[in-house]
Structure 1
Amino acid sequence: MTEALFLNPVFQDRIWGGTKLHDYFGYDIPSDTTGEDWAISAHPNGPSVIKNGEFKGKTLAELWEEKPALFGNPKEAVFPLLTKILDANTDLSVQVHPNDEYAKVHENGELGKTECWYIIDCEPGAELIYGHKAVSRAEFSSWAKNGEWDKLLRKVTIKPGEFYYVPSGTIHALGTGTLVLETQQSSDTTYRVYDYDRKDADGNLRELHLDKAIDVTTAPHVDAKLDIQTETHGGLTETTFVSNDFFSVYKWEVDGKAEFAAKAPYTLVSILDGEAELTIDGTKQSIKKGDHFILPNDVKTWEIEGKMTAIVSNPPVK
């Protein structure tokens, strides 16, 4: 039967995590320092498990390998995308990610990591670190090695509903009191630049990766140019945040009945608010805040009726 693939969340404990994944979404989290929900993941460090239908109990990675037709018989060796929800109860480390070419050489063939953030919620006055103020790699290296963080790092005040695109090479960090949905390449490679001299549970300073970070950081920083477009069709308001060689990311705001046609071989959907009814080939299913699912390749059209907000992504259409 043609149907959506719903996934169980994979929770990750983090030194900076909190309880918002429970408080906001109602998830049964494993600890009071739960920092990440790997919501749609085939990465070996946190593979999602299908929770419904014919493939219940299989991981997304297993499906990608065993049932490629579900994804349009892709050429990529690994599922290319990863959807997370992050609860920054305290500041995340200042970090940067490599591109595909650098990661392939230095990280055992891992993908690089270009990502983007949709701000679900944040405290008043919450900030991101987004970029830096050095005019060259040499200046970046000097300021970083001397710990001149106030001089180096660029801070941006944020509010709910905003979108930030974070290409590989971008210095960044989520700040305290921020809940975001992150769409990224399926990679777990992070180079920490600065971590506020925090110690882990064993009393050790967390590892930094300053030399690799200097290698991959874009200097000078350049803000990503986005062409955000919003269109309304019937009961759907669709905002296109970004569409490039890594992914396309949209926001669906449904109020009433909305009809959809597939734009790509498969579509990743995360419900951030509300509830609705999803209809595929005449079969109806309730969907609600906190649900994450994939519409596979054999789902060409569908309807959603209700009131809900979702962040949606798909691979590039080549």
Structure 2
Amino acid sequence: MEPLFLKPVFKERIWGGTALQKEFGYEIPSENTGECWAISAHPNGPSMIENGPYKGMTLDKLWSEHSELFGNPQEKVFPLLTKILDANMDLSVQVHPDDSYAMVHENGELGKTECWYIIDCKEDADMIFGHNAQTKEELQEQIQEGQWNDLLRRVKIKPGDFFYVPSGTIHALCEGTLVLETQQSSDTTYRVYDYDRRDAEGNLRDLHLEKAMEVTTVPHQDAVSTKLVQEKGNTRITTYVESDFFSVYKWEVGGKSSFSFNDQYLLISVINGEGALSHNGIDYRLKKGTHFIIPVGFGEFEVDGNCEMIVSHT
């Protein structure tokens, strides 16, 4: 049994840039690369296993053909998706449906609750998080009249911040932000406002106002997530959220540290530093930008080095 290292998939976006190359050394397709789908089994961009007996197999195929690696789960599709987003420009203002709405209106797709860990951002950066409408009628009126300054809530952000973004939350990352996103495995987004930008062909991008207004939570509710910090030997473990969809942690490793996991598979992304993972006498190099899965039944392992990792599980 080995950790499953994954080859990311990159997505070009109108708002993307080059930070994924500059910060992580990735080979990106263009200077408008907005998304790294780091751990993905979604059909729109499945990651590929890079090592061991399953090398060359995509994660969605591994999930269906070797479910024992994941504890023989009941879900038909791999439930999570880890991304890194380079918001070189403002993203469109958007909202995502929940599972029940997406099941009916998006051909059985999962809903999309997500969360963001701010890896880096420019000084005095902010993002759009929520809205000020108190009723659906007020929401509809302000959208139709383009009263964006009155409608949209902005919050200041800094590196190391964490935000839980439930389905139904109007949101947008803004210029100069680099984020690790953990989300349900869904590619469904309802665009509310896009600053009247045009694509490469000169066309305005589609908006999805009817669906967006149906799924938006009104009035806005800030999600409550209590950060818990624990010291475990040479590692500081920060728990950011434990929800029905996923749990997300940050491991800050500052020397040799021991871990043991048997009953849960883990998604792990190295966001800073470097080190080595040791298991059954084999060392696996970890560096910034490495993404891997610890399978169910993996047991004891050690991580030695100085690195920061975002860890998640269902």
Structure 2 length as normaliser, TM-score?
0.99
SS where residue 246 of structure 1 aligns?
A: coil
Cα deviation, residue 298, structure 1: 2.6
Instruction: Give structure 1 regions of 4+ aligned residues with deviation exceeding 6 angstroms.
Output: none
Which position in structure 2 is the counterpart of 1:121?
120
Cα deviation, residue 263, structure 1: 7.0
Which position in structure 1 is the counterpart of 2:41?
42
| Residue 63 of structure 1 pairs with residue 56 of structure 2 | no
SS where residue 196 of structure 1 aligns?
A: coil
Task: Describe the superposition over 1:187-225 as per-residue Cα deviations: whole angstroms up to 9, x where unpaired.
Answer: 000000000000111111000000000000000001111
Q: How does 1:1-40 map to 2 (within 5 A)?
A: 2-40=1-39
Q: Conserved in 1, the CA contact under 8 Å of 2:262 and 2:297?
A: no
Tell which deviates more after alignment, 9-18 or 273-282: 273-282
Tell which deviates more after alignment, 5-14 or 132-141: 132-141
Letter paired with 2:140: S
Distance in 2 between the 1:248 and 1:302 partners? 21
Task: Describe the superposition over 1:5-29 as per-residue Cα deviations: whole angstroms up to 9, x where unpaired.
Answer: 0000100000000000001111011
Which position in structure 2 is the counterpart of 1:158?
157
Distance in 2 between the 1:263 and 1:119 partners? 30
Distance in 2 between the 1:255 and 1:73 partners? 34
Letter paired with 1:260: F
Unpaired runs of 5+ in structure 2? none
Distance in 1 between the 2:229 and 2:157 partners? 21
Cα deviation, residue 282, structure 1: 2.3
Q: Conserved in 2, the CA contact under 8 Å of 1:95 and 1:190?
A: yes
Letter paired with 1:116: C
Unpaired runs of 5+ in structure 1? none
Which position in structure 2 is the counterpart of 1:170?
169
SS where residue 256 of structure 2 aligns?
A: strand
Distance in 2 between the 1:107 and 1:180 partners? 26
Which position in structure 1 is the counterpart of 2:295?
296
Which position in structure 2 is the counterpart of 1:258?
257
Task: Describe the superposition over 1:67-109 as per-residue Cα deviations: whole angstroms up to 9, x where unpaired.
Answer: 0000000000000000000000000000000000000000000
Q: Conserved in 1, the CA contact under 8 Å of 2:256 and 2:303?
A: yes
Cα deviation, residue 264, structure 1: 4.7
Q: Conserved in 2, the CA contact under 8 Å of 1:264 and 1:314?
A: no
Letter paired with 2:66: K
Distance in 1 between the 2:167 and 2:299 partners? 32
Alpha-carbon RMSD across the aligned residues, in angstroms, is 0.8
Q: How does 1:75-154 map to 2 (within 5 A)?
A: 75-154=74-153
Distance in 2 between the 1:238 and 1:110 partners? 33
Structure 1 length as normaliser, TM-score?
0.98
Cα deviation, residue 174, structure 1: 0.1
Letter paired with 2:81: L
Letter paired with 1:29: I
Distance in 1 between the 2:241 and 2:136 partners? 28
SS where residue 6 of structure 1 aligns?
A: strand
Distance in 2 between the 1:163 and 1:23 partners? 23
SS where residue 170 of structure 1 aligns?
A: coil
Identity %: 62
Which position in structure 2 is the counterpart of 1:285?
284
SS where residue 70 of structure 1 aligns?
A: helix
Q: Conserved in 1, the CA contact under 8 Å of 2:48 and 2:55?
A: yes
Distance in 1 between the 2:32 and 2:60 partners? 27
Letter paired with 2:99: D
CA 1:173/1:138 → structure 2, altered by over 3 Å: closer, same or farther?
same
Letter paired with 1:165: Y
Distance in 1 between the 2:151 and 2:215 partners? 16
Q: Conserved in 1, the CA contact under 8 Å of 2:268 and 2:292?
A: yes
Letter paired with 2:261: A
Distance in 1 between the 2:261 and 2:226 partners? 22
Cα deviation, residue 259, structure 1: 1.1
Distance in 1 between the 2:197 and 2:241 partners? 34
Q: How does 1:126-275 map to 2 (within 5 A)?
A: 126-262=125-261, 264-275=263-274
Letter paired with 1:4: P
Letter paired with 1:101: S
SS where residue 255 of structure 2 aligns?
A: strand
Distance in 1 between the 2:266 and 2:154 partners? 33
SS where residue 24 of structure 1 aligns?
A: helix
Letter paired with 2:158: K
